Chains A and B, each alone.
Chain A
Amino acid sequence: GENVEQHPSTLSVQEGDSAVIKCTYSDSASNYFPWYKQELGKRPQLIIDIRSNVGEKKDQRIAVTLNKTAKHFSLHITETQPEDSAVYFCAADNYGQNFVFGPGTRLSVLP
């Protein structure tokens, strides 16, 4: 089955700086990679996703890149704001039937 690793586990940046979170996956058959943001005590919410036929996707300050050959994908947040502080989870589909999540990255944006 699929295995997803995520780094770093914690990340602190100054407001306005960029943040990058990286994930690797094990199963080359995976082809859908969502990113979720989870604030303390709240539900995970999808912020961006990418499919394997696309190398990069951008939505305002958030972008995701995918390298299928190397089996890794990254989340990029530019011009970080305090409200970006949360735990971010990457995930990969597992035979198209469920998702395997990474362990999470706790992002702190310092004012």
Chain B
Amino acid sequence: GAGVSQSPRYKVAKRGQDVALRCDPISGHVSLFWYQQALGQGPEFLTYFQNEAQLDKSGLPSDRFFAERPEGSVSTLKIQRTQQEDSAVYLCASSLATGNTEAFFGQGTRLTVV
């Protein structure tokens, strides 16, 4: 595809349920980022991959959040035992090189925990 693709676009989860959010970056892009965007706020950094290596996970809010990119392409963000405060839009972005290059965002996954 031409851009970053995320699935599902919308997810409703019952509190306590586990969810998995998928990101397909632009082919050949080395860097991949996950951000969390609450309503009316700017994107908040969660984690960063360079190829398959997770170089920074300092933004993950708790050990219920886990991300992987095993083959350096598709990435999955997993949230275990979801809570209401996890409700947000989860944005994935990719960039061609490391650092200081344009990041292209996906449409995001809107997660609602009820």
Residues of A bordering B, CB below 8 Å: 1, 6, 31-32, 34, 36, 42-46, 49, 51, 89, 93-104
Residues of B bordering A, CB below 8 Å: 4, 33, 35, 40-45, 48, 50, 55-56, 58-59, 91, 98-108
C-alpha spacing A14/B4, complex, angstroms: 35
Q: B62: shortest Cβ distance to chain A, in Å?
A: 19
Is the pair B102, A44 in contact by a Cβ cutoff of 8 Å? no
- Where chain B touches its partner, the secondary structure class is loop
Q: List 7 A-B contacts (CB under 8 A).
A: A32-B99, A32-B100, A36-B105, A42-B107, A46-B103, A98-B33, A100-B45
- Known contacts: A32-B100, A97-B48, A98-B33. The answer to whether A89 contacts B91 by CB under 8 A is no
Is the pair B105, A43 in contact by a Cβ cutoff of 8 Å? yes
C-alpha spacing A71/B104, complex, angstroms: 25
Which residues of chain B come closer than 8 Å to A101, judged between CB atoms? Answer: 35, 42-44
| Nearest-neighbor residue (CB-CB) of B33 within chain A | A98
Q: B8: shortest Cβ distance to chain A, in Å?
A: 15
| Nearest-neighbor residue (CB-CB) of A93 within chain B | B100
Q: B39: shortest Cβ distance to chain A, in Å?
A: 11
Is the pair B43, A34 in contact by a Cβ cutoff of 8 Å? no
Most chain-A Cβ atoms within 10 A of its Cβ — which of B100, B101, B105?
Answer: B100
C-alpha spacing A105/B55, complex, angstroms: 30
